[in-house]
Every structure is written in structure tokens, then in C-alpha cells.
Structure 1
């Protein structure tokens, strides 16, 4: 049975690889790792179809080390044990082992901890792939022992090159019009797998592939939504501004647009957590608890059921009273700290663990009482009249 086109077109060497020039051109990290044949633990962070798996396979192939690939979605503890045993055997034969963990963010903390001593000892070189921000999804000890490599969605120009390469290798260039190639690239959203899958189906549907055939193969015109691009930021900006302006209808519309386009629901939830303190703050202290609960709900149940929580929270935040007091106070306090970084802590507020310190006036006049207000106040002398709220 023939492999899918996207798998058949997977590059085997870095010179065949298209895109991610900030990583693969001469002098950049992936090229240097291969040139120096120095296995390095990495975390590939990027959207689907950006080439994370392909780059991991290329690194292992070009360096010449044993490549083991597992998916965090399906892997069990026994799979981890098997990999470690295989790595030990390789080590005794003076062979290095590169373990590629797809969707590493789906491993829980205990599962990630299981790899840590073997990565630390050098027994295993780990490359993890994730579509989620590794700062939130990968444990800190693993992050500190790896380099985080950010992959971008393929540019439209790169997508056209990837499609044309596939047409050439499959010897079907004349069957696909130039406009069809451009449309395939445009609706792929920077995802090479999507583009090649749509191309494969289009070739099966018609001897001559035109834009209309591409639209049929793709079923619908996918929203032009680059998660790292301007459209992404314009949508989230419109969503935030609509909530800030208490326009619940607009807020829910932009929320629906983001979900329909495939935005990470945790990204949306995080922005609402920020909004709850920044734009509502003291006007509605329950907003932060609701937004945080929404983020936790998304973490636990995901989509599509998590949509109820997202729309609930967005509607509530949009309809809430608004206040910038917390944000203004925060910026005022940060400015004061920057302008007066060395202001002396008043003696009566200082810790006094020894008798000498007490004799010098440390903690003088301070009482351990609820809501105790020291007659000398609490700010340094030069800031005694400062008010943030």
C-alpha cells in the first residue's frame, strides 16, 4: 500500500529541506549541529506541518545515530522503558540514541521526569516536538537541559516551492495549473502536510487540477490564519478591545472567529486571565477567579466542550464593570521602583532577629496587630507622599 504523498515527499537531507532558513542555512543552529555531528537535546516549538518531525529525522540521519520515535499521545510507561534499554545497548556499542517525542506536551510531569536522568547523563539525546508554548507545557528541568527551537509557519513562497517539488518528483507538473498551485499554498495556512494532502486528493479527483478542483478537494476555504502573523494579532486585538468596550456581541463574534480558525484555546483563556486583572480589576474581584477557572477547564476538557467555558467567560468579562485602577497602580509602582531603586527601607519596617538590630531601631514601634498602622508610615522618606490607588 502506497504511503501518503506528504510522507513520500518528506526530505531526507537538510539540503532537500525547504523553509525555516533561520535554522537551516549556513551558520544557523540546525546546520551547525549536523556539520559538527554533535547531538543536542532540543525542543521544537511550532505549528502543525512546519517540519518538526522532518528536521528531527534529518538530524539523526545526517549525524548517523539511532533514531527512536514515539508519540506522547499513545506511548505508555513500557515504551519509555524499552527506549531506555535500547539506548543502553547502543551505548555499550558506542552508538548514540536520539529519542524523538512527538507532542511532548501531552506527557504529564511524571512521564517527562522519567526521561530527565537519561537526558542528563547523555544516554539519550531528546528532541521533543510541541505546538504549545514549552514554558507552560514542558517541565523546567527538561527545558534547562534543552535548546528551545521556534519553527514558523511556512511562508507562502516556501509552500509554493514545496508543492512544486512534489509535482516534479511525482512527474505531474503539467497536470496542475499555476493558479491551482498558488491556491494550494494560500489555503494551507503554512502547513506543508495540509498542502500536500490537498494536492494528493486534487490529483485523484481530476486529470487537470484547477483552482475549482482545489476548492473541492479542500472542502472549504480555510481562514487565512497564521498564528504568528498579523491576522492572528488583529483578531485577538479586536476581541480584547470589544470586551474592554463592553460590546458582548462583538466579543463573542471575534471569539468564534478565532475558534473556527483553529486558535489555541489556552491562548484565548490566558488572554482573558490577563484581561480580568488589567481591565476589570477592583471593579469585579470575581473576574480573575472566573477567568482562571476557565483556563483550568480548557486544560482539563479541551475543545469542543470547552467552548461553553470560553463563551461564558468572554460574555461575563464583556458585561462586567471596568476599571484600570490595578493596571495604573502597577505601572506607577514599577516606575517608582525604577526611579528610586535604592531608597532605604525605613528602620521601623526592617527585620530585627538580633538584639543589636533592635538597639539600632530596627522594627521600632511595630506591633503585631491586624491593620496596625505605624505612625511613621510604610514608605521610604522620599516617597512618603506617593499614592498609586
Structure 2
């Protein structure tokens, strides 16, 4: 071993050599579980392995190929293209003549575009290639339906803290690991928590920490780990799950939850203007007329983010999110609007009553446009008696739900319904 021939990283040296050495994924590899049954049958079909980073997708693919005695061709969708797929097909055809099966492993399969994924289809369908794709993204969105239907999707889970800790202990005792290095129990506990189920990151951090201190201390782990940034793919499922968590926390009036998810998004690198737009949507959808000021505040927060940028504008977002979480809630306008849209889309385009039509010309007035219209300020009672919907149409769209500002106008809404002759249909 020389300076120009350094040892492989710890995570690579400790890569499991057999399925029995795999840490975690007991829901797939335990007795009677899916992969255990597949390996027992000796027939491995195409698979999509979906899970977060550092949980063993690549390792598992290699081990599966070895278990069934198949030739293993690894490709990364980051650098590979259709040309590489064709070369793999040529090699698989050559090996098939010798009775050898071929597994094509495509890491980060979600980075292949539709045309590239389609190039795999005929060879997967014919059985020439057994495809194992690995992805951190939801296959429902990132893998073509045709390819997805020909492969079984297996979900890999982040390792539990106790599983990560066991792996760290193995790194200190295994001959392939960190010879002569020890670690304080508190340091291993800390790293097992910080790693968030990512075995690769845990082992890499331990390796760096071992160069800072022996025995490895919590301070060495903190220094080696660096700044903790929450995991978030800004274009992936995690991003939209964080938006969902933020929105649902606001809707549920949980201030701390709303602030926490907002902080996760901001620290994860989300576009603050996009977050601001979603916060404006929350004000319109879930606060509504229960607090008419909420929408104004959120528009002001968006303007502040646009004017100041991040991190200064982030405080305005936090202020808006806290306000929304504390505000009374109403989705009455949201529900009424959706109902109105459905009524228009599903119903007939009925004529507008003549008395509601605009009459800017003498010809229009001769045709009856605007005739009989009761102007409210001249004839309030007549204004209430006239129809405001097409002939024969009866709709109950809006009803205040009784929180905040809407609670104060509920009595007026009921009186207006009665005055318009709609009180009976409104249940008042």
C-alpha cells in the first residue's frame, strides 16, 4: 500500500459479502419475506429498489445477482445512455448462448428519460435482461408505467438508529474496518442519531472522526459530521411531503409543527418564493373569510421574501406561518368555489336572465336587456325579490362555518338568505 494506492473507503471495505451480512431491511429479508422467498425459488425477476441514500440498494443488487448466479452489469443513469444499454444487450446475448443469465443494475434509474427507459423495455420483456433499478425517487412519478409494470417495486427503509450503531461497532471490530480504533459509547450513540439511517454517511463520518481522535469522542463526531442539513430533494417526493406536512400543520393549528416543517424546507434549500406562494394558498384555502387579514399578511410576506431574499426574508415567512396556524379556520369559500365550478362544468350553459344583462345600447334595451332590474339603492326589497341565477337553477354554494369573522356575519348571511327566498333550502 502506497500514497498512490490508498485503501478503499470504510463503507466500501465493509460492504456485505453475503445476504446474511446485510444490516436492516428485515421486512424484505426476514424469514418468509419477499426477497427471502425469491432467493429460495432461485428465480429473480426485474426489481425496482426504492429507498433513501445509504441503505444498501447497490449492495443488495450485487448480492442478489451472486445468489442466483447471474452476470452483473452495473450502470449509473447519471453517466450511461442508450449506447451503454445496447452494449449490455450485446453482452447479455453472448452470455445467453452459454446459458448465463444477465442482471443489468441501473443506479439512479429515475435519471433516465422516457426514451432511455423505453430502450430497456423489449429486453426486459423478453427476459434477456433482468433489470434491477435503484432510485431515491418515487417510482410512481419517475419510472415509466410500462417499465414499472414489468418490475416489482420493493421499498427499502432507512436504517434504525440501533442498526446503524451495530454497523459502527462492526467497523471497530471487523478486520476490514478501523484497526486499532476505539470509540466512546456516547460518540456512537450520537452518530447513530445524526446519520438518519444512512449507513454510508455513518461509516464515512466515523472514518474521518477516527483521524481526529482515538478513542473517537462526541466532539470528534460533531466535527467530522459537519453542519447538519436536513435531507430534501428539492424536486422530489420529500419536497412535496414537506409542503404537505407544513400545510397540514397550519390547517391543524399546530404552531410548532408549522414552524418546524418551514425550517426543514428553508434549511434544505427550498426556493423561498415557492414556499411563499404555497403559504398564500394556505391563507386562501384554509383561513379564508374566518380572518380576511391573513391573505394580506401572506401577500406581504411574499413581497418581503422577493424584496429581501433569504435569509432575511425567512422571518417574514415564519411570521406568516405562525399567524396562519393561530388564525381561525374556514374553507367555506374554497368549498363553495369548487362547487360552483362543478356546477358550471357539469351543467348547461343556461341563458343569463334579461334583467341581469348589460344594456349599453338602445337596441339592447329594446330587446329587453336590463328591463325590470331592481337597483338595490332605489328598491332594496325589489332587489332581494329578483332572481340572480338562470331560470330553474337552485344552488346552495356558500355557507359560513362559524369561526372568526364569518361567525360575526352568520346572522346577516341567514337574513340575506331569507330575504332572497333561499332560507328554506339553506336549512334556516
Say whether the 8 Å CA contact 2:245–2:261 is kept in structure 1: no
Deviation, 1:65, is: 0.2
Deviation, 1:37, is: 1.3
- The answer on 1:189 being equivalent to 2:196 is yes
Match of residue 204 from structure 1: 211
Match of residue 32 from structure 1: 37
Say whether the 8 Å CA contact 1:280–1:323 is kept in structure 2: yes
Match of residue 343 from structure 1: none
Deviation, 1:119, is: 0.9
User: Residues of 1 paired with 2:276 and 2:113: CA distance?
Assistant: 20
User: Residues of 2 paired with 1:203 and 1:330: CA distance?
Assistant: 61
SS, match of residue 48 in structure 2: strand
Match of residue 100 from structure 2: 95
SS, match of residue 43 in structure 2: coil
Deviation, 1:256, is: 3.9
SS, match of residue 3 in structure 1: coil
Larger mean Cα displacement after TM superposition, 204-213 or 171-180: 171-180
Say whether the 8 Å CA contact 2:77–2:106 is kept in structure 1: yes
User: Residues of 1 paired with 2:271 and 2:118: CA distance?
Assistant: 25
Given the superposition, is the C-alpha separation of residues 205 and 55 from structure 1 closer, same or farther in structure 2, using an over 3 Å criterion? Answer: same
User: Residues of 1 paired with 2:96 and 2:191: CA distance?
Assistant: 45
Match of 1:62 among 47, 61, 67: 67
Match of residue 338 from structure 1: none
Mapping of 1:229-244 within 5 angstroms?
A: 237-238=245-246, 240-242=248-250
Match of 1:216 among 223, 227, 230: 223
Larger Rg: 2
5+ residue gaps, structure 2, are 234-239, 296-309, 341-345, 353-388, 396-423
SS, match of residue 130 in structure 2: strand
User: Residues of 1 paired with 2:105 and 2:271: CA distance?
Assistant: 23
Given the superposition, is the C-alpha separation of residues 175 and 122 from structure 1 closer, same or farther in structure 2, using an over 3 Å criterion? Answer: same
- The answer on 1:324 being equivalent to 2:324 is no
TM-score by length of structure 2 reads: 0.62
Deviation, 1:142, is: 1.2
Given the superposition, is the C-alpha separation of residues 87 and 274 from structure 1 closer, same or farther in structure 2, using an over 3 Å criterion? Answer: farther
Q: After superposition, what is the alpha-carbon deviation per residue over 1:43-95, rounded to whole angstroms, capped at 9, x for unaligned?
A: 11111001111111110011110111111111122111111111111222221
Say whether the 8 Å CA contact 1:160–1:185 is kept in structure 2: yes
- The answer on 1:145 being equivalent to 2:150 is yes
Match of residue 114 from structure 1: 119
Q: After superposition, what is the alpha-carbon deviation per residue over 1:15-57, rounded to whole angstroms, capped at 9, x for unaligned?
A: 1111111011111111122222111111111110011111111
Given the superposition, is the C-alpha separation of residues 145 and 329 from structure 1 closer, same or farther in structure 2, using an over 3 Å criterion? Answer: farther
- The answer on 1:157 being equivalent to 2:156 is no
Q: After superposition, what is the alpha-carbon deviation per residue over 1:101-139, rounded to whole angstroms, capped at 9, x for unaligned?
A: 111111111111111111111111111111111111111
Say whether the 8 Å CA contact 1:189–1:226 is kept in structure 2: no
SS, match of residue 175 in structure 1: coil
Match of residue 258 from structure 1: 265
TM-score by length of structure 1 reads: 0.67
User: Residues of 1 paired with 2:276 and 2:68: CA distance?
Assistant: 41
What's the RMSD between the two structures over aligned residues? 4.7
Larger mean Cα displacement after TM superposition, 176-185 or 123-132: 176-185
User: Residues of 2 paired with 1:218 and 1:212: CA distance?
Assistant: 10
User: Residues of 2 paired with 1:8 and 1:253: CA distance?
Assistant: 38
Given the superposition, is the C-alpha separation of residues 234 and 377 from structure 1 closer, same or farther in structure 2, using an over 3 Å criterion? Answer: closer
Say whether the 8 Å CA contact 1:244–1:279 is kept in structure 2: no
Deviation, 1:259, is: 4.4
User: Residues of 2 paired with 1:55 and 1:240: CA distance?
Assistant: 36
Match of 2:17 among 12, 17, 38: 12
Say whether the 8 Å CA contact 1:100–1:126 is kept in structure 2: yes
Say whether the 8 Å CA contact 1:187–1:224 is kept in structure 2: no
SS, match of residue 7 in structure 1: helix
- The answer on 1:51 being equivalent to 2:56 is yes
Mapping of 1:230-309 within 5 angstroms?
A: 237-238=245-246, 240-242=248-250, 254-261=261-268, 279=286
SS, match of residue 200 in structure 1: helix
Given the superposition, is the C-alpha separation of residues 234 and 95 from structure 1 closer, same or farther in structure 2, using an over 3 Å criterion? Answer: closer
Deviation, 1:172, is: 3.4
User: Residues of 2 paired with 1:280 and 1:67: CA distance?
Assistant: 56
User: Residues of 2 paired with 1:53 and 1:29: CA distance?
Assistant: 18
Given the superposition, is the C-alpha separation of residues 153 and 367 from structure 1 closer, same or farther in structure 2, using an over 3 Å criterion? Answer: closer
